[in-house]
Amino acid sequence: MDRPSQLIECGEFVLRRLRGQRDFVQLFTLIEQSRDHLRPWMPWADGHDEQSTRELLASSETKWESGELYNYVVAENGELIGMCQAYRAEPRGCRLGYWLHPCAVGRGIATRATAALAKEMFALADVGYLEIAHDVANAPSRAVPRRLGFTELRREQAPPPAAPSGCGIDLIWRLNRPATGGTFPGGRAGGTNSACSTAST
């Protein structure tokens, strides 16, 4: 099974694969500093502690190797400023997720990081479409798929536990694999745009 690149360079920031327990201190600090920002939309933020961080790092290693989940940190000048991920929702489809430290919002980083990850996932031959899911009430998350050319697909009951500020209904967006040589707003399918490039590590 093909795997995405472990390092995706995006100008002033990079996406890189989590490095197991070596990332513990930085990742734990990132989540702790972001908890108030994440809490309204991500129920897991309230239960965050050292153990949950270690479990996340361990499971990320295992699931990367199995092709079930690809977890990346967003890093700028060596500091972690967020995370993004792609996980298998169906055999031909992946779901993308993203969040940022509050100091990194408002700069277009979530959109550019998601675009770079989408391009990377479409480089895998067995990925036919990508989806993004967010609570209907989460307007900032809605902006990312809209900018990247995703189409609103359906609304469905959100899985428990409920997000404190959510309405309990998830909005699902989909982007199908572009035709050979086609483009989407995040970059050229199967190629490299001027903003992001990949490297194996």
- Residues recorded for the chain: 201
- List pLDDT tens digits, range 145-196: 999 999 999 999 998 888 888 898 999 999 999 876 555 555 433 333 435 6
List beta partners, residue 176.
Answer: 129
- List pLDDT tens digits, range 17-62: 999 999 999 999 999 999 999 999 998 988 899 999 999 999 999 9
Residue whose C-alpha is closest to residue 83's, from 46, 56, 49: 56
Structural domains for the chain: 7-199 (3.40.630.30)
Running DSSP on this structure, what letter comes out for residue 179? P
List Cβ neighbours of 60 (8 Å cut-off, separation of 6 or more): 18, 20, 69, 71
Q: Which helix (H) or strand (E) holds 45?
A: none
pLDDT for the residue 197: 61
pLDDT for the residue 185: 54
Exposed / middle / buried, residue 80 (Cβ in 10 Å: 0-12, 13-18, 19+): buried
| Three-state SS at 136 | coil
Rounded to two decimals, the pTM is: 0.88
Q: Which string of DSSP letters, residue by residue, matches 76-111?
A: ETTEEEEEEEEEEEETTEEEEEEEE-GGGTTSSHHH
Tally the C-alpha atoms within 13 A of residue 156's C-alpha that lie toward its C-beta.
9
- List pLDDT tens digits, range 119-146: 999 999 999 999 999 999 998 889 999 9
Q: How many CB atoms lie within 10 A of CB 130?
A: 25
